Amino acid sequence: MALAFQHRTRQLAIRAATLAILARLWRSVDVTRLRQTIQPFADSAALAVNTGFMQSAQAAAAYYILTRPRGITSVVVPQVTPLAAELAADKIRGAAISGIINGRRAGQTIERAAQNGFVKASGSASSLILDGGRQTILEATAQDPAATGKWARVAGPTSCEFCSMLASRGPVYSSSSVEFASHDHCGCSAAPEFR
């Protein structure tokens, strides 16, 4: 399980690096001129997020090969593709606007509502980034004859109750039974089970 936690740590580092890019891009968003500034942010953010998705997928493929039992014929880990840039941009833009609007409705200042918008956008982006690694593990586990077809959720010590509960079940999930359920800001990853 130590490798699974190392992999999760690597995934979180990829997410953090990508969110740092988004934080720099967010500086161009002007809440008083949202119509003019939110779409350029979302378009640039989607490109960064899709790059993060691919880095997450590559790290997961390396982890998968590393954990696979030795002496078994090699396997090609499937390549996953990120969400189309337009769809990723729409998700990020929608989350940002939702955060800003909710903040203003709650009586927040423009500055605080802008921060709220970034928190929502970064939560949506987090899911999109880490899905690269999650999808890679799930698809590889489903296709690899050396795997049982099952995977476990790997949560951290500060994970929410929902994620902790799902992780406590062990390798009981499969692509035929469930998708990887994640929420905004979720930092969980998947660990394959082998025969």
Q: Which residues contact 191 (CB under 8 A, 6 or more apart)?
A: 1, 4, 7, 67, 137, 151, 152, 153, 154, 171
Long-range contacts of 97-106, Cβ-Cβ distance < 8 Å, separation of 24 or more: 97/34, 97/38, 100/31, 100/34
Q: Determine the pLDDT at residue 2.
A: 86
Q: Determine the pLDDT at residue 72.
A: 76
Q: Alpha carbon 171 to chain centroid distance?
A: 20
Integer Cα distance of 143 and 182 in angstroms: 22
Nearest to 113 by CA among 30, 48, 57, 41: 30
Q: Determine the pLDDT at residue 69.
A: 87
The per-residue pLDDT for range 40-80, each reduced to its tens digit, is 999 999 999 999 999 999 999 999 999 998 877 778 899 99
Per-residue pLDDT of the chain (195 residues; tens, 9 = 90+): 789 999 999 999 999 999 999 999 999 999 999 999 999 999 999 999 999 999 999 999 999 999 998 877 778 899 999 999 999 999 999 999 999 999 999 999 999 999 999 999 999 999 999 999 999 999 999 999 889 989 999 998 888 999 999 899 988 888 776 678 788 889 999 999 998
DSSP conformation class of 70? T
Residue 100 is inside which H or E element, if any?
helix 85-105
Q: Determine the pLDDT at residue 154.
A: 93
Q: Determine the pLDDT at residue 1.
A: 73
